[in-house]
């Protein structure tokens, strides 16, 4: 797995150097959702402290085994009724996409949670996320909430998309972020985009967080 980590870090660096739109610093999140707690511990021991989970049970089963220094990212869609179980254990939520979820977090969290607004850039029916033109109003609505700390935007490219389309979706998310910043939403700085198959494109288009599972930790699965 160390080999995969080095390879991915190298690709990220190269993408940063070759693209003028790339971010100065890119955070690698190891998506450990398919791993057992023991396998996940191996990931942390390889020096990857930012871990991504997408199910409450997965996250909760790993908390006690992993070092306190682990930074937990919740990357899947979160059911409102599950908020109370997970919210105080996570550092970042990548899938804030509705007011009912924001209100439940406001009610249940005992400290602010860094949140990405999930955006459905491709317009695919099956994808979660707000339409790009709904994001500004949503940010205004969550503005008064003290437990929601909006830090950026998250998107996923459709599974079957070709490189040129994927690049288009990622650059649209960057442009939306830039436009929101111009409209005074100064806290919306981060872009969570890029997975095993498309992280190089994502970094070239300005990703500041990439979420990588298969290509990084896949070899740990039996």
User: Binding residues for ligand PLP, per CB under 6 A?
Assistant: 31, 33, 54, 75-76, 156, 195-196, 211-215
Judged by CB, which is closer to ligand PLP: 50, or 145? 50
Q: Min. distance of Cβ 184 from ligand PLP in angstroms?
A: 29
Judged by CB, which is closer to ligand PLP: 22, or 95? 95
Judged by CB, which is closer to ligand PLP: 145, or 152? 152
Q: Min. distance of Cβ 211 from ligand PLP in angstroms?
A: 4
Report which of 88, 69, 94, 67 is spatially closest to residue 210, judged by C-alpha positions: 94
Q: Min. distance of Cβ 132 from ligand PLP in angstroms?
A: 18
H-type helices in the chain, by residue range? 2-18, 37-45, 56-62, 83-86, 99-108, 135-142, 163-182, 199-204, 214-217
Q: Min. distance of Cβ 125 from ligand PLP in angstroms?
A: 17
Judged by CB, which is closer to ligand PLP: 145, or 212? 212
Determine the Cα–Cα distance for residues 196 and 216; give it in Å rounded to an integer.
Answer: 8
Judged by CB, which is closer to ligand PLP: 145, or 194? 194
Q: What is the per-residue burial (b if ≥16 Cβ within 10 Å, else e) of 69-86?
A: ebebbbbbbbeeebbeeb
Q: Min. distance of Cβ 165 from ligand PLP in angstroms?
A: 17
Judged by CB, which is closer to ligand PLP: 145, or 203? 203
Asked if 69 contacts 91 with a C-beta cutoff of 8 angstroms, the reply is no
Which residue's C-beta sits nearest to ligand PLP? 213
Determine the Cα–Cα distance for residues 210 and 49; give it in Å rounded to an integer.
Answer: 14
- What would the two tokens of residue 210 be? 């990439």
Q: Min. distance of Cβ 126 from ligand PLP in angstroms?
A: 13
Contacts of residue 201, Cβ cutoff 8 Å, sequence gap at least 6: 163, 166, 167, 170, 194
């Amino acid at each position: 797995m160390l080999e995969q980590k080095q390879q991915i870090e190298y690709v990220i660096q190269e993408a940063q150097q070759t693209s003028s739109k790339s971010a100065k610093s890119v955070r690698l999140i190891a998506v450990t959702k398919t791993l057992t707690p023991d396998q996940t511990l191996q990931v942390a021991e390889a020096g990857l402290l930012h871990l991504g989970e997408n199910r409450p049970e997965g996250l909760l089963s790993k908390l006690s085994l992993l070092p306190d220094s682990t930074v937990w990212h919740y990357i899947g869609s979160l059911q409102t009724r599950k908020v109370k179980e997970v919210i105080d254990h996570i550092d970042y939520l990548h899938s804030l996409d509705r007011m009912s979820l924001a209100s439940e977090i406001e009610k249940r969290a005992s400290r602010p949670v860094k949140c990405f607004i999930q955006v459905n850039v491709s317009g695919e029916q099956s994808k979660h996320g707000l339409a790009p033109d709904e994001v500004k109003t949503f940010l205004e609505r969550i503005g008064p909430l003290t437990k929601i700390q909006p830090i950026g935007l998250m998107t996923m490219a459709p599974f079957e998309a070709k490189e040129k389309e994927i690049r288009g979706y990622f650059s649209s998310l960057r442009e939306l972020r830039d436009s929101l910043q111009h409209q005074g939403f100064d806290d919306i700085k981060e872009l969570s985009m890029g997975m095993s198959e498309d992280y190089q494109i994502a970094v070239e288009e300005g990703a500041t967080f990439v979420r990588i599972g298969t290509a990084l930790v896949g070899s740990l699965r039996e």
